[in-house]
Structures are given as C-alpha cells and as structure tokens.
Structure 1
Amino acid sequence: MTRTEQPAAGRERPATAAERASTATTRAAAHIPAQLPTRGPRRRRSPALLLALALGALLVVGVAVAASAGPAGIGPLEALGAILARLGVGESPLGAVDDAIVVDLRLPRALAACAVGAGLAIVGAIMQALVRNPLADPYLLGVSSGASVGAVLVLIAGLGVLLPVAAFVGALAALLATLGLAAAAGGATPTRTVLAGVVVASAASALVSLVIFWGADGDAYREILAWLLGSLAAITWPTALVALVGAGLALALLPTGRLLDALALGDAAAGALGVDARRTRWALLVASALVTGVLVSVSGAIGFVGLVVPHAVRLAVGAGHARLLPLSALAGALVLLVSDTVARAAFDPRELPVGIVTALIGAPVFAALMLSGRVRT
C-alpha cells in the first residue's frame, strides 16, 4: 500500500509547486504601489466638457435671476416656476400680474440677451480667424455702422416699429459696400476687406452724425442715443424671436471649426488640406456679417462681447475652433445676460444701456489679457 501511494503523492507535487508559484505571484502583486493602476488609466473628463456643463448650469440660473430681478419682489425659484408653468410643467406660484411680468416682460429680454451674446461671440471668433487679427470683432466690416444709419433714419421719422427691418437693411447695404470695395481694389483678401470695412464704417458713422445733427431732438434723440450705445430695453417676444433666429444662424456656423483651423495655417496649407481658402473666406465673411446684421437690428451695437469672449475662452480650451466656437457661444450668452441684468436692475429706477456695462467690463478684461501676453498677435 505504501509503494502504491508514493507515486500518487509524487503526482501531487507539481500541483503544490503551482500553488506556491501562484502564491508568490499574489504576494508580488501585493507589493505594487497603490498609485500605479492595474486596469489602465482612467479617462479624465475633458476641460472643455466641464466648462460647457458649468456655463450651461450658470445660464439656467442666470435666466431665473434675470427674470426675477426688479422691484416686484419675485424670487428666482418663483420666476423659474412661472416659466416652467408656461411650458406645461406644474402650476405657476405667482399671481396673474407677477406672472405676466416674468414671462411677458423679463423672459423675452433675458432670452434675447443670451441669443445676442452667443451670436456675437461666435461671429467674433470666426472673424478673428478669417482675418487673422486679434482685434477683429463682429463689427469689423462696417455692419453695425450701416445698421445705425437705417435705425437713425426711422427713429427720426417716427417709425420706430420698423427699426429692426431698417437696421438690417442698413447692415446689408454696408456689407455689400464693403465687399464691393474690397473686390474693386483687387480682391477680397483679409487686409483689403478690413480696410474696406474701415472706410464704409467711417462713412456710415459720418452720415449718422449728420442725420442726428440736423433732425434729432427731444425723445427721438434719447431713443437714438440708447440704440447707438446698445440696449435691450425695447425687447418684446417678436423681437426676441428675431434675436433667437440670429443666434440660430450663428449656431449653424459651428461645424465650420475644421475649416477655420485650416485657414489659420495659411491659404497654401489650407489648399493642401483640400480647403478652397478664397471661397471659404468669402462665404464665412458674408454669413458672419448677415448674422451680425440680424443681431444688431435687435440690440444695437453692443461692444466688447465679440472681441473679448473668444480670447478668454481660448485661454481655457486652446485655439481649436471645434471647442472654441460652442464654448464662446455659452460664455457670450452668459456675459451679456449678466451685463443686461446689471444695466437694468443695479441703478433702478434708471436703466443704463447695456453697451456701457459691457464696455466697463470688457475694457479692463481685455487690457489684463494684453498685459499678461495672452492675446495672440
């Protein structure tokens, strides 16, 4: 029995060695430092995604605060409840008068501020890429000056109801004049286009000054001054819808990020990548100017949003336009929403044109960016 059991015991020895090897491996693994992952590195969330989520959340809060800010004593949660009730979610916690104040007066203005801010920021980023100039903004081609001519003419004539239409027609006329002058001067290169825009803007500004000098007085003068400084005070639901249409047109330009990246490399490099630089630049210039014309027809010329916001966002996520454009839209919407709320509520019962607030904020911010060396030149 002993001799027959010995081979069996001998056959068990390899299993015991395997167990010892497994135990040694387990012990060795136990000495692996805790900071070294054994299942591969975890994927970190993109800074661009985190920034987008943060800006989106702030926008929702900002709209609720903007809809509640004012002398009526309405809280942000009550304003949000009234807005949701109009969308069919729950019941409004407000009475009929306060509900109308929130939904019919303050909400369209808040949405228009978001739409105009988003559109201007997108167009500003696109213009900076097209002309390769860090000082480019949506008004570079004289569009705002042309819109001002149309707006001033109808305000002096007492036809304020036609102001958005007249401003858009003036903006379109300025765009055609700029592109025509650039083409007549030898082709719409970035430099010629910018120079043509300066010429058209100067001529339109002179015409505005002449019209105001000869024809403006009393209430017309105050209306003209408010519009020229940029104001959302006259926003109603119809004009808010116009602003939302303009923002929608601007959002339709978001897929052009790859084309803008190619143009940033120069026309020769863009051609090597299969991008027709000349046609692409013309198309984007025209589209950007038309978007600006729609937005300006509602809000007037609001400065610094389209200039500063793209630079600030570029610091956070880099120069890639696939990220820069949508994040600039969110940041621009938030900046103008906050600025308009401050302009409307901070000095109650008087109201500042929102263009003054954006200039007071934008000028020192842009100066700080310049002094830090963060603005591309």
Structure 2
Amino acid sequence: MAHAAWRGLAALGFGLVLAGPLQAADGTPADAVRQHVARVLPATWAVEEVAVDPAESGPALRVAARVKLARPTFVIDGRDGPFTFLRPVAEPGVEKVLTGTATTTRGRDGAFAVKLEWTNAEVLDSLGKPAAELPGQTVVSGTEEAKALRARLDAESKQRLADEQARRMREEEELAEVNAADHAVQMRADLINDIRARLLGGERAARIATYEAVLGGNDTALRQIAVEAALQSRDPVLANLALRDWFGRKKVVPVLLYATKEDPNSETVLRNLGPLTLEVQSFNPAHGNIAGKMGAPGYSISMPSAASGYLAQTELTVHSYGCALTVRLTEAQTLDGLFRCQTLPTLIARITLD
C-alpha cells in the first residue's frame, strides 16, 4: 500500500529525490527540507525517500516522505501494578508516506530555515509506539513470560483477596464480640437500675418480692446491690430483711468504739479496753435471734463471754456478762449506738455494714 501511494505521488509530479547530506554553500531549499525531515522524524522511523516539488502557487514546496518503521510498535493491552502488558501492532519494515508543505528562508549565513507542516501526521500515530516509550515494566501479551507473570499476579491477587476477607472476618468477629460485651454490660446496668428502682420505690409488697427474688438467686454481686438498696430504702421491713441477710453471712463482726465527751474517763477506758468483737455462732433469720460471744480483753467485766440478742427491724441488741450493745441503722448504712458495761463508762459503738 505504501508503494502504491508513493507511485501515485510520483505521478503527480512530486519528483522523488533520494535524501542526502546538505551541501553547505551551494545547498538548495530542497536539500534543506530533506535534512529537516530527517531531523524531525521520530527515531522509530527511518527516511527512505523524500520528494520535494514546488507548489502550484506561492513559494511553498510540496513534500512527500516515504518512511519505514525501524522498530516494532505496540499498544497497551492492560496494566497490573507496575507491569504493562503490550499488544503488538507493527513489525519493522512497515512503510508510510507523509505529505505536507514546507517554506524556506535563507539567513545571512547562507543557511536555510525550514517551516514544515504535515497534512497527515496521524498515519504514524496509528501504529502505536516502541515498548521503550510506554510506561511501566513492559511485557508482550501472549508470550511465555507474560503467561508466567499473569499466573503469578493472579495468584498474588487471590492471596490478597483471601487475606483481606480473613481480615474483614476477624474485624467483624471482634466487632461482634465488642458489641455483645457492650450489650451484656448495658443489660447488666439496666438490670441493676431496675432492681434499685424497684427496691427504692413502689409498694412495700413489690419491694419485698423483688428483694427476695434477688436473694434467692446465685448472683453474689446482685445480692450485694440488693442489700445496699434495701438499707437505703428507709423501709424498716425491707431494711430488716437486708440486716438479717447480712448477719446470716457473718461469723465475726468487729465493733468500733469511741469515747464520749460527757465522761472524761471514757478516753482511758477506750485505750485499755482493746478491740470489741461480736462472734456470731448462730443467727435465726426468721425471728432475728442471735447467739455467740461478745467482749473486749481490756477489763474483766468486758472479757469475751457468751452473748445473745435479737434484731428488731433496724435495731440490734446483744447482751453478754455485765455488758450490752445496742445499735440502730443510720442513713450512712452503719449501725450506730452505745456499748455499756456495769462498772465502765458508756462508749459510742459502730458496726460498719461492708
């Protein structure tokens, strides 16, 4: 096809002239045009022949250049990361004919300045580009190298996809665990708030039913919360149930003692008396009766001895040999009162409900 086009151009009188070196002093405008064509032509192409002929009108010259592809050309078939897969377009030896017009002007030094405009430059662009001019690490599609590379890239892609799916599954499982834990915490908080609300409000029968239901379960933390709420309720019946549960679980109850301002001797007695302890050997939660030992080692009258007493609503009274302890529930959730012995000054007593 290229040869047929070239013959057509020759028939039109383009005058095909072999391209050759420019004659310096006696060079012609045609020589300057041929040299210019060789200089501006992409390196992918080699000049075979250049025809230069005067235009039908004006000073312009008609130019027809027969060029041959010097290197194989390709187009991009696909990209994968840094790799570019190429599809072959043309092999070396393909010929094309470029046509255009040129004007020349001669300078003072005798050299010609050439202005060349191609009218069909797109014929070169349609054949792609050499591999070296295309981006990335180029591989020709269909070759063994391309097949091996594609297999490796596909395997790596599948592995990345599997890793991503595994990561997402782990994240979803972790999120589900966090949500489940948050839900459990929220449900626990709602349950605790509901129990407290029931114990601190509503009818007495409902409060007692709620308290007994919680204490009948195996949740130690809820039992403790129910006891604390019952002690805060200011309901003597409900508080009595809580105190019964508290004393029913105690074996040793420390009693804190304090001197009174009324009797200056109480400070001395307090220092000499030593710690006061109530040992609970038996407690009847149905009636509130308590039995055990009570005493402090400092004086013979206060020495630990057999003791008995009872819990009446929110007041505890215990008697031992020569001494008596009487305490009552306070808003601070302590049992405060007095410890009296026959021959000793009265002391202030407190049991902390922990």
TM-score exceeds 0.5? no
Structure having the higher Rg = 2
Higher strand share: 2
Q: TM-score range by the shorter chain?
A: under 0.3
